[in-house]
Amino acid sequence: MKSILLFDLDGTLTDPEEGIFKSIQYALGSFGIDLTDSNDLGKFIGPPLRQTFRDVCGFNNADTEIAMSKFRERYFDKGVYENVMYTGVDVMLKKLTDIGKMLLIATSKPAVLANTVLFHFNLDMYFTFVSGSELNGIRESKVEVIQYALEQNNITDLTSCIMIGDRKHDILGAKSIGIESIGVLYGHGDYDELFEAGADYIVKDIDELSELLQSI
């Protein structure tokens, strides 16, 4: 029985695309870079942001920190609210808590922003703990945030846990720690990415995810 459910946030509970895309474009504009391709912009949703600035833009450490600062300049003010909760998420979370599931957030997003999003959509009441990164870059990888969530809640029975996310980083992070995972197709990953990463389950929408989580 999976009594402990660890949820990714961006692309799993809410769609942050508009706010992240516009804030990335704002940050890169300060370098004279006009990034408009949605495939390239989509790479910034899911992985740690510092890593993606390096991978996609080839930034060194100094430029990465400048880009992070410019991104947050817009995102903290506007971008975090340019967000949409996936239809049915609130209903699903209520059902899961009503049957006694323990819900945790495990996100590479800074915890302060994750809490802002949860509060904005009135989802904070469903979660026992929010594990995210720190603004200074501490605890950015999915392995680290999952491990931190488990440690802070004294969870040692890994067979009782399952990770839910939309990108390979969620699946690979769970596998590294030794817990099962569910990949969702309504977010920003695709079937091949989740399958190749080794997801134990792959679901197409919120209804299918809700049914699965209530049955396992």
Which residue has 């391709």 as its token pair? 37
Token reading at 177: 């720690």
Q: Is 8 a catalytic residue?
A: yes
Measured CA to CA, the distance from residue 192 to residue 129 in angstroms comes to 31
Helical ranges in 1-60 per DSSP H = 17-29, 38-42, 49-57
Partner residues linked to 14 by β-bridges: 10, 85
The 8-class DSSP code of residue 11 comes to T
Task: For residue 58, report the phi and psi dihedrals to the nearest 5 degrees.
Answer: 70, 25
According to DSSP, the β-strands at 84-85 and 4-7 are: unpaired
Q: Which of 8, 10, 15, 166 is catalytic?
A: 8
Measured CA to CA, the distance from residue 58 to residue 17 in angstroms comes to 22
Measured CA to CA, the distance from residue 111 to residue 132 in angstroms comes to 4
Q: At what angle do helices 49-57 and 61-75 cross, to 10 degrees?
A: 120
One-letter amino acid for residue 160 of the chain: S
User: Residue 213: which of 186, 182, 188 has the closest Cα?
Assistant: 182
Q: Catalytic residues, which ones?
A: 8
